[in-house]
Amino acid sequence: MSKMILGRYIPGDSFIHRLDPRTKLLATFFYIAIVFLANNWQSYLFLTVVTLAIIPLARVSFKFFINGLMPVLFLLVFTVLIQIFFTTGGQVYWRWGWLSVTSLGLINAGFVFIRLVLIIFMSTLLTLTTPSLSLADAVESLLKPLAKIHFPVTEVALMLSIALRFVPTLMDQTTKTMNAQRARGVDFGSGGLVKQIRTIVPLFIPLFVSAFTMADDLATAMEARGYRDGLGRTKYRVLHYGKRDAMTTGALAVLTLGLLILRR
Amino acid sequence: MAGVGLDDVSLTIHGGEYTAIIGHTGSGKSTLLQHLNALIKPTSGTVTIGDRTITSATSNKNLHELRRQVGMVFQFAESQLFAATVREDVAFGPRNFGVSAADADALAVKMIARVGLPADVLDRSPFDLSGGQMRRVAIAGVLAMQPEILVLDEPTAGLDPVGRREMMALFAQLHAAGQTIVLVTHQMDDVADYADRVFVLDQGQLVKQGTPQAIFQDADWLLDHQLGLPRTTQFALQLRKRGFQFAHLPLKSAELAQMLAPQLGGQAHE
């Protein structure tokens, strides 16, 4: 599990760490959207340079970003290969039946590769520099307008932050239960499909039961501490936009403008 | 990111002995335990259990027999229960090791009695039971595998005093019948009362080993390493400050009484 980079937070005190989580969340979404504006090599080069310039701002080892690519490596390779072999047009270098390698295919594959890598880098940057609780706060704050149409914003935010809080706990529980059942002679991940599915039962039932117990205990503990519902509560962690957030917004505007100029 | 759980640990656990492993939280006790049935394999060095040797290169296949030989009761073992009835859950281990359904059922009946539960729990759902009873069912499920070595990771954590005493008495009974027991605990009284041999871990290293008598003599050293003393020993230390003389620090209350009686002017018992 220690290899897993998704949702991992690396504590730090860099420019990016201190950004308001709402800015980071919106900026990441916005960035992912404008990556699709790029359509020629100049614009892709521009984006790559900008991304590689932003990453050092977080003062997180580049290794983490490479690790972030690993889980989607298969997808990346698959997409690139599909692009290479199935795009037609431009100069043909090699052909076999309906497979062909063409200049346009190679260019497209390169673009798709850069686009995916940049998107993954940026989302990795978001999760590496933002604790999940801050992200939950950001989502709550951003969803606030929806309360007008009776969307239960505070409840959703509460569920989100509880869910995030219990991810590591449940992961630990999973490992423990797996070990306990292995000690009782269960072979996880061996045998045929039916046998493997059957080994899931001694793992899932204890997990569900402990999740129920945890939920029950948590609800009792929350009520004992005076929780009734999300209405009329004050907040402990208050989010503030600052100078950095304005700078980030400005930088994004420049980036968008640059892309619009460079694209054809 | 790679933390070191254990560092250059070398120890021998003798068959038939009651071994206690102590050390404060995070000292590597649980990591050491999980080496005993190859849930974790050593990154370097070897683990020899019976005639099997486990190294970092040992494959995950053929570990089945080892897992049966070494029965492991995890901390808060009640969280491993899953079956619809207690009977099925206790029989689950033996069934995994190829015991026939009828034999496994007989084992379940026997083990439920052995852990001190009434026979009528057999057909109830384990989730209807109290926490203490669930713990017993979980322990019965491990005993049902008829392990040669019983490894206990804080088996009495979170139990009430009566439950604790009964569980410890059960393990002592099994030990008297020839069972090898490895116990990890923070309860120094249990170590003093039951263990034949003690290993002390500190930051992944084995720092001390010996009989409980020998280990607990060095009271200052233990307190320095954030470990406690048996209550009897603590009491004897306070008496020593008040002028009482002890040839060695007593571990059990009977021993203390024996040593105190002549000093108080009474007659030595027996």
Q: Do A184 and B74 touch (CB under 8 A)?
A: no
Pairing of strands B70-73, B18-22: unpaired
Smallest Cβ–Cβ distance between A181 and the set B71, B80, B127 belongs to: B80
Q: Do B74 and A181 touch (CB under 8 A)?
A: no
Active-site pick, B17, B154, B166, B270 = B154
Please indicate whether residue B17 is annotated as part of the active site: no
Q: Minimal Cα–Cα distance from B80 to chain A, Å?
A: 6
Closest to B146 measured CA to CA, from B52, B33, B35, B70? B70
Smallest Cβ–Cβ distance between B141 and the set A177, A184, A186 belongs to: A184
Q: Do A206 and B79 touch (CB under 8 A)?
A: yes
Checking phi first, is residue B107 left (phi over 0); if not, alpha (psi -120 to 50) or beta? alpha
What pLDDT score does A11 carry?
78
Q: Do B79 and A177 touch (CB under 8 A)?
A: yes
Locate B241 and state its tokens.
């400050």
Give contacts of A209 with chain B, Cβ < 8 Å. Answer: 79, 81-82, 127
What pLDDT score does B269 carry?
52
- What distance, in Å, lies between the first and last C-alpha atoms of chain A? 45
Neighbours of B211 (CB within 10 A): 13
Locate the domains of chain B by residue range: 18-213, 230-270
Amino acid code (one letter) for A71: P
Amino acid code (one letter) for A236: Y
Q: Minimal Cα–Cα distance from B256 to chain A, Å?
A: 40
What pLDDT score does B20 carry?
95
Amino acid code (one letter) for A36: F
- Chain B touched by A181 (CB under 8 Å): yes
Closest to A48 measured CA to CA, from A63, A57, A60, A38? A38
- Interfacial B residues in 83-122 facing A (CB < 8 Å): 83, 92-93, 96-97
- All residue ranges of chain B with pLDDT < 50 are 1, 270
Task: Give the Cα separation of A59 and A10 in Å (integer).
Answer: 10
Q: What is the mean pLDDT of residues A143-161?
A: 88
Locate A79 and state its tokens.
């997409």
What pLDDT score does A157 carry?
86
Indicate if the pLDDT at residue A185 is higher than 50.
yes
B18 sits in which H/E element: strand B18-22
Give strand pairing partners of B182: B19, B151
pLDDT category, A3, cuts 50, 70, 90? very low
Locate A23 and state its tokens.
């800015």
Q: What is the mean pLDDT of residues A36-43?
A: 87
Burial (0-12, 13-18, 19+ Cβ within 10 Å), B217: middle
Picking from B96, B127, B129 by the largest number of A CB atoms within 10 A of its own CB, the best residue to mutate is B96
Q: How many CB pairs under 8 A join A and B?
A: 58
- CATH class held by domain B18-213: alpha beta
B70 sits in which H/E element: strand B70-73
pTM above 0.95, yes or no: no
What pLDDT score does A1 carry?
39
What pLDDT score does A30 carry?
93
A102 sits in which H/E element: strand A99-102
Q: Which residue has the tokens 């200049």?
A: A103
B231: three-class secondary structure by DSSP: helix
Question: pLDDT tens-digit profile of B202-247?
Answer: 989 999 999 999 999 888 888 888 888 998 998 998 898 888 888 8
Of residues B270 and A132, the one with the higher pLDDT is A132
Q: Do A184 and B80 touch (CB under 8 A)?
A: yes
What pLDDT score does B139 carry?
95
Highest mean pLDDT among A8-17, A53-62, A198-207: A198-207
Q: Do B145 and A184 touch (CB under 8 A)?
A: yes
Q: Do B71 and A201 touch (CB under 8 A)?
A: no
Q: Do B34 and A179 touch (CB under 8 A)?
A: yes
What pLDDT score does A6 carry?
52
- Interfacial B residues in 24-53 facing A (CB < 8 Å): 34, 37, 39
What pLDDT score does A37 carry?
87
What pLDDT score does B16 carry?
92
Q: Is the ipTM of this complex over 0.90?
A: no
What pLDDT score does A147 carry?
86
Q: What is the mean pLDDT of residues A235-257?
A: 88
Q: Minimal Cα–Cα distance from B166 to chain A, Å?
A: 23
Question: pLDDT tens-digit profile of B156-182?
Answer: 988 889 989 999 999 999 999 999 999
Locate A11 and state its tokens.
């504590």
Give contacts of B107 with chain A, Cβ < 8 Å. Answer: none
Q: What is the mean pLDDT of residues A42-66?
A: 87
Are B97 and B145 contacting, i.e. CB atoms less than 8 angstroms apart?
yes
Length of chain A: 264
